[in-house]
Amino acid sequence: MPTNDSELQIYARRILDVIAFTPFEQCQPLSREFDSIPARPGIYAIRHKTDGLLYIGKTKSLRGRFSGGHKAFLWAWLDKYNDEDVRIAAGFISHWGNSALLLELEAIILRATEPPYNVQIPTER
């Protein structure tokens, strides 16, 4: 587990490398049940074959996150992406139950990539 900011940045970079640069064919294809996706915690990306990262998120269970649906799939459908051109890439973490670590890693990766389907909700005044 990372113990300082420098180690956290390195860990985030390793995860980003996995979710951004794993060959598209090795990423998880979309399915109805997502049975082939592990129920492990990690940072995941919805990726398009040619447009790259569409959405980045964190989860305590990757399979559980997708079996219940995901808004990025709706947005990809609205953008008329072919479902065969959209896949899931995941960087798993071994620190079960560490929500703070997932949150920090996600924030670092989001700042570095700014995927189009991650939206900022304006604060209420």
In sequence order, what DSSP letters do the residues of 5-41 get, joined into one string? HHHHHHHHHHHHHHHHHS-GGGSEEP-SS-TTS----
pLDDT, tens only, 101-120: 889 999 999 999 999 999 76
Q: What is residue 44's predicted lDDT score, i.e. its pLDDT? A: 96
CATH number for the domain formed by residue range(s) 5-113: 3.40.1440
User: 80: Cβ–Cβ under 8 A, 6 or more apart, which residues?
Assistant: none
Low-confidence ranges of the chain (pLDDT < 50): 122-125
